[in-house]
Structure 1
């Protein structure tokens, strides 16, 4: 899985998200359209695992979290930045989502959750904030940020 191949794969998803409100309705649509047992979900999860194994994804580490910005917000990703984190039983840094955040949760340990959510999609609306937390094991989380907007805070 090359960065170019991954960009093409993720663009198939972001193309369907562009212009939609980032809200609970979008979360329901994502989980109905691409549930954890769907081919698209499985392709994305496999691509992330392959990219991490190749060393170009999640190639930074801090505070016990492996992470990395895969793409800045680009026309090719329909204005979404793409980040992937690898977390095990840990809470990450508190941050605010000025335009919202769309998360794809890919447990590596059966039963692992992200902010209490199992495998699948989670959406935070504009202006929301959280301290991202993986519990019950290890998970990869792919973050789509409209316009790449994120603000880390001290909370």
Structure 2
């Protein structure tokens, strides 16, 4: 099994568990319990995210000081979720809205790094929410699960 196949398999384990759940704070609690940073799935995905960034099979694009890339398009296999992986260091990214919500797995490279105030773990944004994705206090990888791959880069209201 290739690293990308292993990565996809682990992502699908997560998306299968959440496919019928509403994207909200309850989902964040569920993910934090079921796929906590101490879980085998979280640890394996974290290691693959780091390895993928180091080896270049993740984060193939770079712009504005951010490495990024959509690595999996939404499909039946992923239960309708797309997967993007981003590497950020002490930076505020471009504003965007989540038409169907956004689920973020935060993997700090620097122990103190936080993504939108969240250290190691999960952050969930409900449908219709928007933000400037921001990493502070160091460098972090963020794995984004987007229902139906929906994201709208727009100006804030």
Distance in 1, matches of 2:55 and 2:77, equals 23
Partner residue, 2:133: 132
Partner residue, 1:38: 39
Partner residue, 2:149: 148
After TM superposition, list the pairs within 5 Å mapping 1:52-67 onto structure 2. Answer: 52-67=53-68
Partner residue, 2:109: 108
Partner residue, 2:48: 47
Q: 1:18-50: CA deviations, max 9, x gaps?
A: 011000000011111122222221111001112
Distance in 2, matches of 1:49 and 1:79, equals 24
Flag structure 1 segments of 5+ consecutive residues without an equivalent: none
Partner residue, 2:122: 121
Distance in 1, matches of 2:78 and 2:39, equals 21
Question: Per-residue deviation at 1:114?
Answer: 0.4
Q: 1:64-92: CA deviations, max 9, x gaps?
A: 00000011111111100000000000011
Distance in 1, matches of 2:101 and 2:117, equals 18
Flag structure 2 segments of 5+ consecutive residues without an equivalent: none
After TM superposition, list the pairs within 5 Å mapping 1:87-98 onto structure 2. Answer: 87-98=88-99
Correspondence 1:68 to 2:56: no
Residue 151 of structure 1: SS of its match in structure 2? Answer: coil
Residue 12 of structure 2: SS of its match in structure 1? Answer: helix
Residue 69 of structure 2: SS of its match in structure 1? Answer: strand
Two-structure CA RMSD over aligned residues (Å): 1.0
